[in-house]
Amino acid sequence: MITATQIRGARAMIGMSIEELAAASGLPVETVRALENGEFAGEPHALFDVRSTLEANGIIFLSSGNQDEGGPGIRLRARTSSDDGIRPENLNAANDD
């Protein structure tokens, strides 16, 4: 089980809006908002869809007891590709966004 705080934190960590999370998970915005407010009753499939979407975007959910101290949390999955981005010495106007 994940918490409402984990959902909010995970979304913020990857820079995803409520609207983007709702669209990616196939749920109405109101449902995602309710999950982020801790209103899980009657929405087990919605909770699964949100969790799956966030995990597909690089989030790992930590349950209580996964660390030496503390309760449930989140973290980003380690990069598996060799893409480390652009090295500082290679930054220039041509590769600006």
Q: Residue 56: phi, psi to the nearest 5?
A: -65, -20
Mean pLDDT over 78-89 rounds to 67
Domains and CATH numbers, the chain: 2-74 (1.10.260.40)
In the prediction, which pLDDT does 66 show?
53
Q: What is the pLDDT of residues 20-76, one digit of tens each?
A: 999 999 999 999 999 999 987 777 899 999 999 999 999 999 887 655 567 788 888
Query: Whole-model pTM?
Result: 0.74
- Residue 87 CA, chain-centre distance (Å), reads 27
